[in-house]
Structure 1
Amino acid sequence: MNAQARHISTRGGLVMRAAPVAIVALAILAVRTPLAAAYPRTALLLFLWAACDTLMLAAIARAPGRNPGWHAVPAVLAAASLIVWLGSPPALRQALLAMPAIAIAMIAMVLAHIAWATARARRIFRRTHAAPGMRWTAAASAFLPVPVVRAAAATLSITYLSLVRWGGPADVPSGSRAFAYHRHLAPMCATMLVLSLIELGVCHLLLGLWSPRAALIVSALSGAGLVYLIALIKSFRIQPVLMTGEGVRVRAGLAIDQAIPLDAIAAIETGFAGSDVNAPETLNAALLAWPNILLRLRRPIPGRRGPVSAVAFRLDDPDPFVRLLKWRMEHFQVDR
Structure 2
Amino acid sequence: MTAVASPPRPSRTRRVLSFLKRALIAELRVYSSIGRAIARRPAVEPGGTGIGYHRPVLTVLIIFIVLSAVEIPIFDLIVHPWPGIRIAVLILGIWGLTWMLGLLCAMLLRPHAVGPSGIRVRSGLEVDVAIPWSAIASVEIAKRVDEPKSPRVTDGPDGGEYAERMQDETNILIELERPTPIRLPGLAPRGGEHQVTRVRLWADDPRAFLAAARPFLLDA
Query: Same fold per TM (> 0.5)?
Result: yes
Query: Counterpart of 1:170 in 2: which secondary structure?
Result: coil
Whose RCO is larger (CA < 8 A, sep 6+)?
Answer: 2
Instruction: Name the CA distance, whole Å, in 2 between partners of 1:331 and 1:189.
Output: 39
CA RMSD of aligned residues (A): 3.7
The aligned counterpart of 1:315 is 203
The aligned counterpart of 1:232 is 103
Given the two structures, how large is their TM-score scaled by the length of structure 2?
Answer: 0.66
1:67-94 alpha-carbon deviations (Å, 9 max, x no partner)? xxxxxxxxxxxxxxxxxxxxxxxxxxxx
Alpha-carbon offset, residue 159 of structure 1? 3.5
Q: 1:204 to 1:187 in 2, by over 3 A?
A: same
User: Which structure has the larger Rg over C-alpha atoms?
Assistant: 1
Alpha-carbon offset, residue 204 of structure 1? 3.3
Instruction: Name the CA distance, whole Å, in 1 between partners of 2:105 and 2:119.
Output: 21
- Where in structure 2 are the equivalents of 1:105-120 lying within 5 Å? none
Q: 1:165 to 1:264 in 2, by over 3 A?
A: closer
Q: 1:275 to 1:187 in 2, by over 3 A?
A: closer
Instruction: Name the CA distance, whole Å, in 2 between partners of 1:212 and 1:173.
Output: 48
Alignment coverage as a number of residue pairs: 195
The aligned counterpart of 1:270 is 142
- The answer to whether the aligner puts 1:325 opposite 2:205 as a matched pair is no
Instruction: Name the CA distance, whole Å, in 2 between partners of 1:263 and 1:163.
Output: 33
- The answer to whether the aligner puts 1:200 opposite 2:67 as a matched pair is no
Q: Paired residue for 1:306, among 183, 188, 192? A: 192
Given the two structures, how large is their TM-score scaled by the length of structure 1?
Answer: 0.47
The aligned counterpart of 1:99 is none
Q: Paired residue for 2:174, among 295, 299, 304? A: 295
1:130-171 alpha-carbon deviations (Å, 9 max, x no partner)? xxxxxxxxxxxxxxxxx7xx94x9756633643795362423
Query: Counterpart of 2:85 in 1: which secondary structure?
Result: helix
Q: Which has the larger share of strand?
A: 2
Amino acid at match of 2:207: D
- The answer to whether the aligner puts 1:257 opposite 2:128 as a matched pair is yes
Instruction: Name the CA distance, whole Å, in 2 between partners of 1:202 and 1:172.
Output: 39
Q: 1:202 to 1:296 in 2, by over 3 A?
A: farther
Instruction: Tell me, yes or no, if the aligned pair for 1:182 and 1:236 is still in contact at 8 Å.
Output: yes
Q: 1:206 to 1:292 in 2, by over 3 A?
A: farther
Instruction: Name the CA distance, whole Å, in 2 between partners of 1:306 and 1:182.
Output: 25
State percent identity of aligned pairs. 24
Return 5+ residue gaps in structure 2 as ranges: 154-161, 186-190
Instruction: Tell me, yes or no, if the aligned pair for 2:145 and 2:168 is still in contact at 8 Å.
Output: no
Instruction: Tell me, yes or no, if the aligned pair for 2:171 and 2:202 is still in contact at 8 Å.
Output: yes
1:47-78 alpha-carbon deviations (Å, 9 max, x no partner)? xxxxxxxxxxxxxxxxxxxxxxxxxxxxxxxx
